[in-house]
Every structure is written in C-alpha cells, then in structure tokens.
Amino acid sequence: MSTRPSRSISATSRVLIRWRGMGALLAVAFYSLFFAAHHRFHNTPVYMTDGVLFGSRTQTVFNDLIALREGDHRSIGAEHPAFTLLHQPAAQLIIKGLQFLGLDVNSARKHGVAVLTCLAGALGVVMVYHALLWGGVGALRCILLAAIYGAGTCAWIVVPLPETWTFAGLGLAAVAAVAARGPLARWWLHLLAAVYAMSCFVGNVIPVLLLALVRCAQDTAAAQKLSARPLVTALAAAAITFGLANLQRVVFPRSAALPTQLLEWREADAGWTATAETPARVAREVFISNIVAPKAITTKTQGAARGRARVVLDEDASWSGFDLQTGVGTAWLLLLVLGGAGLVWRAVDDPFTLGIAAVLVWSIAALPWYGSPDRLLLLACLWTPMVVLAVGLGLERTLVRWPRLAVPVTLLLAAFLAAQITRNWIFLQDVARMVRL
C-alpha cells in the first residue's frame, strides 16, 4: 500500500517559498528610481554647500566619502562612529571604476557616491520587505508596504543625496529584519546588523537593545528556558563598534575625536524649543510628511551660506495643507488607524510587534537628543521603516479579526501607492527646481 507524501508545509517553508526573488526585484527597481532622482540633484549646489536642502549636510558627507585616507574627515561627527571606515573605501572603489569607464573626475565622484547611497536605500526597502515577510504579513501586502516605504518622501529626497541617515536607517531596518526572523537567523547575522547600525549612528544602540530583548523572548519561547544569548550578542556588537570607531581613528587619522563623556554623544545643533504646536508637528513629521509629500515648502535666505536660499518645510503649515483634501493623505491616515488598532491587539502576544512599537516610541522620544527641527525630513530615514513595519503588522492583525477587509485593504494599499508615487515625484521635481534657483 503506497502512501502519498504529506502536503503540509511548515511556516518556515512557506516564507521561503513566498520569497521567490522578490527582494532582488525590489532592490533593482528602487535602485533605479533612486538613481533617477539623483539625476535631478547632481547639477545643483547640494554638493558644494551644506544646508541647501532641509538642513542637509550634503557637502560634508560628500567630501568625507571622496577624500583620501590622509584627508580631513573631522566633519563627520562622533555620533557616526565608524561611518567613514565602512563607506569611504567602497565609495573610492566605485569612483575608480566609473573613471575607468570613461567618466571625468567630477562626474565619477558625484555618480559614485550616488551609487553607494542608492544601493543603501534599495537595500533598506528589501529589509522592510523581509521583516514584514517574516512577521507573517501577506506576500502582496509585503510588497506594497515595502514599496510605500521606498516611495516615501524621506527616501526619495534623502537617498539620492550624500547623507549619513540613509545608512543609519538601513542598519536599523536590517536589525529589525533579522529580529523578525528570530532564532532562524544565524547569530552572526544579528551581530553584523547590530554592528552596522551602531557604527552608522550611535543612537541605534537603544533600538538594538530593545530588539535584542525581543529575541530573548523569541529564543526563550522556542527553547522553553531563559535565553540571554541575544543580549550577549548585542553587548558584543557594542564592543566591536567601539573597536571599529577606534580603528577608524587609526586608519583615518584626521577623524573627529571620540567623546570622553556620555553627554557629548549628541549632535551639536540638536535641540528643541517646545511650543503648543510641537506635538502636532512631531506627529505630522513622524507619521505623515515622511510618507506623503507636503505641499508646504518654502525658501529662506537668512543664515544660508554665500547668500543662497535654503529649501525648508513651512513650520506654520496646517494639517489640511498636507494633501488631506485630495485623498492621498486621507488614505494614509486611514491605513494608520487600521494599523494602529491591530498593532495594539498584536503587541499583547507578539514580542516582535511590541519591540517595533518600542523602537518607534524611542525614535520619537529621542528627537531632541539627535535631531534639530529643521532636519526632520532627513532624520526620518531612521523611523520611517519602523512606521511602515508597525502599520503592516497591525494591518495583518486587523485583517485576521475582520477577514472580509482583506481585499479592500489590499486594493487601498495599491491605490495609495500609485497616488503616492505620483504626488511624491511631483514634490521631488518642485524641490529640485527650487534648489536650482
């Protein structure tokens, strides 16, 4: 008597089957989009002057990546402890390759740095997709949500520019992705993601520890006994990061000195003056403006280097100015509400969801420590992956409770993505035009 093979497939196998190379397709697609956005900026002053675009330090980061080992790398502060060590060699290699292909030095430098930042942005999209996939979100919704992150305002504006926050956001998204995989991810993947995240931005140490606690809960549940190995891995990652920071000061002797006191690990221009409008502005920048491009941008000349106008967000813009009347912002608010409701239900019994929520809360609470108000759109690369992950995980739990909403919500995600891409591309064109003025 013959027996038919069992058709039951484990949860792990289903995730692997659902992958099907989609991460690679997302990486190629968004690398192309980001590099196309780079072409809108490569002939603008962003490579010659800091602060031209939303308080960015584009000239500082650009000069750091193209400078030789003996060059001046002191402009990248110690809050990015090993950024130069990890990225300057790669940037130099790409620049040399482009020169070999026939580009002049100036073009090779601009395009070489853009290749590096666009790769980091595209990998960030893949990490968001991977984290959602291992978090149990439906395959199509994983793709749509990862694309929503990649087409968000902060990604399309920041990734094409020489900025440290693209890499810091990639590191944090990678930590979330391996945490979502939990015990199935090898220990060295957790270690590498944590080291990279903290090397790019020292403020990522708290999210790394929070997600290490998530892994402790996952490992304890799997082994039916207390497991502290993830915390040991996180501490080892912190020690390696400190070692890389010191190594950078040896390899690049003209790097910024490491602080001697804990309170010195903060940006020099960070700080907030709290007003009655501060909570609304923070909520707007954290949950809306980083996804749906605002209409309210303006220019300022006061304090701009060489008298050049700076493109900034209008601080006095009202909520209604953020495209709510045309439906794009309203659709995102609806997704936020549905995701928020499901997030509360899911966080009760899912450590990973609780960890993502905790990281998001930390990102908001720490804004006065690592960010100044005029640079929020740039800093949004840190928390936007967490926002999208929180929405995706919450939506999935909402759909479990109300399965009839599955098709309408998926269609809403697709419609929103189409409208978002259109709106944000127009915004990108407007910003590039204003920068050229």
In this prediction, residue 1 carries a pLDDT of 42
In this prediction, residue 288 carries a pLDDT of 87
**pTM exceeds 0.85, yes or no:** yes
pLDDT in tens, 210-248: 999 998 988 887 777 777 888 999 999 999 999 999 999
In this prediction, residue 5 carries a pLDDT of 42
In this prediction, residue 3 carries a pLDDT of 43
In this prediction, residue 305 carries a pLDDT of 47
What SS3 string covers the chain? CCCCCCCCCCHHHHHHHHHCCHHHHHHHHHHHHHHHHHHHHCCCHHHCCCCCECCCCHHHHHHHHHCCCCCCECCCCCCCCCHHHHHHHHHHHHHHHHHHCCCCHHHHHHHHHHHHHHHHHHHHHHHHHHHHHHCCCCHHHHHHHHHHHHCCHHHHHHCCCCCCHHHHHHHHHHHHHHHHHHHHCCHHHHHHHHHHHHHHCHHHHHHHHHHHHHHHHHHHHHHCCCCCHHHHHHHHHHHHHHHHHHHHHHHCCCECCCCCCHHHCCCCCCCCCCCCCHHHHHHHHHHHHCCCCCCCEEEECCCCHHHCCEEEECCCCCHHHCCHHHCHHHHHHHHHHHHHHHHHHHHCCCHHHHHHHHHHHHHHHCHHHHCCHHHHHHHHHHHHHHHHHHHHHHHHHHHHHCHHHHHHHHHHHHHHHHHHHHHHHHHHHHHHHHHHC
pLDDT in tens, 274-314: 666 677 777 778 888 889 887 766 666 655 445 566 777 66
271 pLDDT exceeds 70?
no
Confidence band of 7 (pLDDT split at 50, 70, 90): very low
pLDDT in tens, 320-336: 455 454 678 888 989 99
pLDDT in tens, 343-401: 989 988 899 999 999 999 998 888 877 777 778 888 899 999 999 999 999 999 999 99
In this prediction, residue 304 carries a pLDDT of 45
Confidence band of 18 (pLDDT split at 50, 70, 90): low
Indicate the average pLDDT of the chain. 85
